[in-house]
Structure 1
Amino acid sequence: MASRVEKYLAHLDHLAGGVEPRFFPVESTKPGLPGVTTVVYQGMPEDLLTALTYGLSLAEHPEWRDGSPELCLSVRSTDTAWAHAAGFLAEGLRGSCPFSYGNIIDFGEPVAAESDMTAFCVFAPSVLDREDYVGIDVGPRGHEGHDTINIQGLYPIHEAERQFVTEHGLEAFWRLEWDPYDVRRAPVA
């Protein structure tokens, strides 16, 4: 019988279509919880670096009613600092941040040397189809209840954009003209 992590990784393997991942573990700072692993695909899709976490969903949060989240970050870069940031945030904020659509996370410093971006917003992962990121059943066969993962998109943004979202909301920001994968772009707000 496949374990929870094996079922999740099989789901990711299916999505990757043969692209081999790299794994970056993040040691746990949460008593009783194992660490977080960032699963990184270069070139999935096309020219993007895509990082997905595993371990965030092992925590609990009162807002997680229809499954627990894992994160997906996709950027036009080869710098794995972006992937490490996703794993760092998932491990450090699990249990305290719901990682719900519209959440803004201030990283507090530039995420990678190639960019001035210092924050992230959470929304649907644009590189996946809805059926591939909502309601991923990772529970054992015949289990009672649900053990479901929902993959949330993590988008790097500039400080000015973080302030814009705080003042005007994510929907107003999303309507602006910007490339969510371009980590070298100028601020749009």
Structure 2
Amino acid sequence: MPTRVEQFFSHLDYISGGIEPRFFPFEGSRDLPRVTVVVYDDVPEPGMLTGITYGVSLADHPHWRLGKPELCISVRSDDLRWPLVLGHIGETQRGDNPFHYGDTINLGERIAPDSEMTAFVIFAPAVLDRADFADINVGETRPINICGLYPIHEAERLFIHDHGLEAFWQLGWDPYDVGRPSVV
């Protein structure tokens, strides 16, 4: 029987079409195995980076009754800071942050030099079909659900807090463009 990690990486191989990723392990600060960021170059299209964590779901949280999260980001950039920030967020917030859709994460500083963005909003990953990000069987009672993290400006984070994710999503912004101006 394949292990939990083997089942998850087999799923990633399937949805990526077998593209060879790069692996970036983060030093663990807890009594859990480390978080690793799996980075795909030019996915879903040339000039983009997609990163997916493994290790966030190894923690427990009282809200994780039906599944456990892993994190995903896809951006139009060649700066590895974008997918690697998932490792930092995953390592420092797993077990404490429920990673609910509509929640925001404020880093309080620019994520990368190619952008003024300082925060993320959590929602379903736009680059994956529901069957590819929800209820991923890893041989345990609770499956893995991949959550998308979308880079946003501080003003947008505050707008989401005041008006909700749906109102923000309808403002017509490009979720992959890390150089875009704020839409609010």
TM-score of the aligned structures, taking structure 2 as reference length = 0.97
Q: What does residue range 64-79 of structure 1 map to in structure 2 within 5 Å?
A: 64-79=64-79
Whether 1:93 aligns to 2:88 is: no
CA distance in 2, matches of 1:111, 1:64: 27
Using the alignment, how far apart are the partners of 2:162 and 2:25 within structure 1?
Answer: 35
Q: Report if aligned partners of 2:155, 2:182 keep a CA contact under 8 Å in 1.
A: yes
Which secondary structure does the structure 2 equivalent of 1:137 belong to? coil
Counterparts of 2:138 and 2:107 in 1: how far apart (Å)? 30
CA distance in 2, matches of 1:7, 1:103: 28
Deviation at 1:24, TM superposition (A): 0.5
After the TM superposition, which residues 94-173 of structure 1 pair with which residues of structure 2 at under 5 Å, given as runs? 94-139=94-139, 146-173=141-168
Aligned residues between the structures: 183
Aligned-partner Cα distance in 2 for 1:129–1:147: 20
- For structure 2, the residue ranges without an aligned partner over 5 or more in a row are none
The answer to whether the 8 A contact 2:134-2:144 is kept is yes
1:11 match: secondary structure:
helix
* Mapped contact 2:66–2:142 kept (Cα < 8 A): no
Task: Give the aligned residue type for 2:34.
Answer: G
Amino acid at match of 1:60: D
Q: How many angstroms apart in 1 are the aligned matches of 2:92 and 2:83?
A: 14
- Aligned partners of 1:19 and 1:44 also within 8 Å: no
Equivalent pair of 2:65/2:142 in contact (CA under 8 Å): no
Query: Which letter maps to 2:82?
Result: W
Which residue in 2 is equivalent to 1:142?
none
In the alignment, the residues of structure 2 paired with residue 62 and residue 74 of structure 1 have an alpha-carbon distance, to the nearest angstrom, of: 28
- Matches of 1:18 and 1:61 in 2, distance apart? 32
Amino acid at match of 1:174: W
CA distance in 2: counterparts of 1:49 and 1:76, whole angstroms: 7
Give distance in 1, aligned partners of 2:98 and 2:154: 21
Query: Offset of 1:18 from its aligned partner?
Result: 2.7
Instruction: Report sequence identity in percent.
Output: 58
Question: Which position in structure 1 is the counterpart of 2:25?
Answer: 25
Amino acid at match of 2:33: P
**Distance (whole Å) between structure 2 residues aligned to residue 96 and residue 158 of structure 1:** 23
Q: Hey, what does 2:40 align to over in structure 1?
A: 41
Conserved? CA contact 2:110–2:116, under 8 Å: yes
Runs of 4+ in 1 over 3 A off after TM superposition: none
Q: Counterpart in 2 of 1:57?
A: 57
| Equivalent position amino acid for 1:160 in 2 | A
Matches of 1:103 and 1:19 in 2, distance apart? 31
* Residue aligning to 2:16: 16
